[in-house]
Structure 1
Amino acid sequence: MSKTITISSREQFSELLKSSSIVVADFYADWCGPCKQIAPFFEQLSRQLSQPGVATFVKINTETEAGKQVGAEYAVTSLPTFILFRHGSVVEQVRGSDPRRLQAVVEQLASDIEKAGQSGGGGGSSSASGSGSGGLAWRGADLPRGYTDLSDVINIPGLDWSNVDESVFSKRTLYSREKPSALNKSGGASDSKDWIESDTDEQVMLYVPFNATVKLHTLQITSLPPTEDEDEDEDELPMRPKTIKIFTNRPHILDFSEAEDTQATQEIELGEDDWNKDGTANIGLRFVRFQNVTSVVIFVVDGDGDSEKVRLDRIRLIGETGEKREMGKLEKIGDEPGE
């Protein structure tokens, strides 16, 4: 017997996102040949991995009223499209009838499904930050609907930075999918140094190239400096960033004088109210300025205090990859030309 749930209303889908830790949604149409080709494979994954309250596989017919509403909400413009949710937030999208791609993405969730099942489930109403273990990325803030975490398309070997104390971490630390160790202890302190701090002053320059052209929608920065009661001199405590400049499509990292004199794609100033309980600032970008992006430079100009050090625990770049098709016209993808 199939364990796949057919969505008949927008409210039904919203409730499933709240009640199931993981939801895998298949957006399809009856006229779509590639949708029919991959449907048996989707059913096979559903039979293997579905667990009540833990992992739910659903089918959404985009020709129905409910399907049109949900499809529009998540910017579904081609068929088939598979969207994977964790605690109600999009973690991945797969477009087209590509069983190997879909299986690879779902397999990333398999260990999390198994662990969640062993711990008795844990419906989707829990925090988006989650446990930080397994194949699913820890998040300090929810993803905006219709957009995904672009960590998988960051060109890790091409990462660069300036004025960073390199004695305790590697470049990939800042973009790790793991939950920051500081959140596992009270007060933000940790013996495991999985964050970065500036070196000679509070300024930090980060260069992030991508393996694909992307459109950036949101920047999420997590900063968890220790508190004053942790036996450190207040003047030596690292700060959260305050002023940030972002530059796009640079072939390499900028030097500090060049960044000071160059017009930024966007400049951001953060205040105390911008940081949530997990120490994350969710920064909306001017989307029209961040189209066709191949790299970004993130320049932390100053911090929110008098210290000479700034601390960064995690950075998430949120958006989409590739060209987005026009809204209002669903296309099938996967057929050979002429079919």
Structure 2
Amino acid sequence: MAKPIEITSVEQFNEFLKSSRIVVADFYATWCGPCKQIAPFYEQLSNSLSRPKVATFVKVNTEAEGAKAVAAEYRVTHLPTFIVFRDGSVVERVKGANPKELQTIVETLSHNIEHATQGEGSGSGGSGGIAWRGADLPRGYIDISDTIDVRGLELLNADESHFSVRTLFNKSKPSALSKDKAESSEKDWVESDTDEQLLLYTPFNSAIKLHTIQITSLPPTDDEDDDDVPMRPRTLKLFTNRPHNLGFDEADDIDPTQTIEIGENDWNSNGTASLGLRFVRFQNITSLVIFVVDGDGDGEKVRIDRIRFIGESGEKREMGKLEKIGDQQGE
């Protein structure tokens, strides 16, 4: 338990990201009124939750020499901004002096501190903690899968015996990667039905900026008839801001926002491919249709275990800005 640590260099900050499982960073400026208002609350959190090599609370003065490079690296444009890192990756970002929102993040953080203290790995899932991801996040972006309006999800051509569209966004580690996978009776993945094509309609609760899609696919490797073994997806077509799902004929005829070809080398050891998007085309997204056109192989079905959306969530009301405006200049 300790007070927040003042960051003086990029090297110091990066060292904390390497040595501490969880890092909470307060980006502030001395002239910023809202920063001063929330500072005691942040210090109280640090005093109660910090743990050596488990949870570290730091402060980053965006105008101090050495520290402002950290703010630039993580594209901090509003003050205050609080960024939560786990295992070196951004998992949460709070803009503005919003104690209620920060308190919610900290409650989740407390849960993860307990697990980290008990030595559990970063891949542990569960609805109460940080979501499992099969690949690192692009620097400066966060997992925004929680912005999905799950009530509006729709998946066409899914095998009913492997069907629950919400499974694709489950926060837990896929059972196929678990040591006890043989003991799991629940099928936590999705397969296509009559052929290898799938159509997934995903609405969002607010407009988002989408940077990367991470898809995890873990087909079995047992020696079975090739026609019975599902494939990983190969060709994807993405359609943005549609009011509803497309039909397969319609998806074939309409020009997509982007087409992605997934190569064999794109899949990592967790069976996850990180698919970078043409960011300028995905700036104000309210819904996304993912059309799996075909699979990588000669099989008849495609399998998907998890999907993660990486980018920036919709803007919230800001209580402080980086620019020196109004009565903040005199504070």
Instruction: For 1:159-178, list aligned pairs within 5 A.
Output: 159-178=153-172
- In the TM superposition, what is the alpha-carbon distance from 1:5 to its structure 2 partner? 1.0
The SS at the match of 2:67 is helix
Alignment partner, residue 84 of structure 2: 84
- In structure 1, stretches of 5+ residues that fail to align are 123-128
Deviation at 1:187, TM superposition (A): 9.4
Displacement of 1:172 in angstroms is: 1.2
What TM-score, normalized to structure 2?
A: 0.92
| Aligned residue pair count | 324
The two structures have a TM-score, normalised by structure 1, of 0.90
Instruction: Decide which of 190, 195, 210 is 1:216's aligned counterpart.
Output: 210
Cα deviation, residue 275, structure 1: 0.1
Residue 165 of structure 1: CA displacement? Answer: 1.4
Deviations 1:179-206 (A, max 9, x none): 1111003999964311100011000000
Partner in structure 1 of residue 267 of structure 2: 275
Structure 2: which 5+ runs fail to align?
Answer: none
1:98 aligns with 98
Amino acid of the structure 1 residue aligned with 2:75: A
Q: Say whether the 8 Å CA contact 1:96–1:332 is kept in structure 2.
A: no
Shift of 1:105: 1.1
Does the residue aligned with 1:299 lie in a helix, a strand or coil?
strand
Deviation at 1:176, TM superposition (A): 1.2
Amino acid paired to 1:99: P
Residue 250 to residue 274, structure 1, CA distance change in 2 (3 Å): same
Structure 1 CA distance, aligned partners of 2:291 and 2:324?
41
Partner of 1:125: none
Match of 2:290 among 286, 298, 305: 298
Q: 1:135 aligns with which of 129, 137, 155?
A: 129
Tell me the secondary structure at the aligned position of residue 109 of structure 1.
Answer: helix
Q: Partner of 2:23 in structure 1?
A: 23
Letter in 2 for 1:197: E
Q: Deviations over 1:80-136 (max 9, x none)?
A: 0000001000001000011010010121121110111122x87xxxxxx62234511
Tell me, in whole angstroms, the C-alpha distance in 1 between the residues paired with 2:277 and 2:16.
30
Letter of the structure 1 residue corresponding to residue 33 of structure 2: G
> In structure 1, how many angstroms separate the alpha carbons of the residues matched to 2:235 and 2:180?
27
C-alpha contact 2:175 2:181 (8 A) present in aligned 1 = no
Please list the CA deviations of residues 266-285 of structure 1 after superposition, one character each: whole Å capped at 9, or x if unmatched.
Answer: 00011110000000000100
C-alpha change, 1:63 and 1:160, in structure 2 (3 Å) is same
Distance 2:175 2:314 in 1: 33
* Helix, strand or coil at the partner of 1:26: strand
Partner of 2:138: 144
Matched, 1:307 2:295: no
Identify the residue that residue 37 of structure 2 maps to in structure 1.
Answer: 37
> What is the CA–CA distance in structure 2 between the aligned matches of 1:283 and 1:185, rounded to whole Å?
27
Residue identity in the other structure for 1:304: D
**Aligned residue in 1 for 2:230:** 238
Instruction: Give aligned-pair identity as a percent.
Output: 69
Cα 1:185–1:104 change in 2 (3 A) is same
* Pair 1:182-2:206 in alignment: no
- Does structure 1 conserve the Cα–Cα contact (< 8 Å) formed by 2:24 and 2:85? yes
Amino acid corresponding to residue 160 of structure 1 in structure 2: E
CA drift of 1:4 comes to 1.4
- Indicate if the aligned counterparts of 1:274 and 1:282 stay in contact, CA closer than 8 A: yes
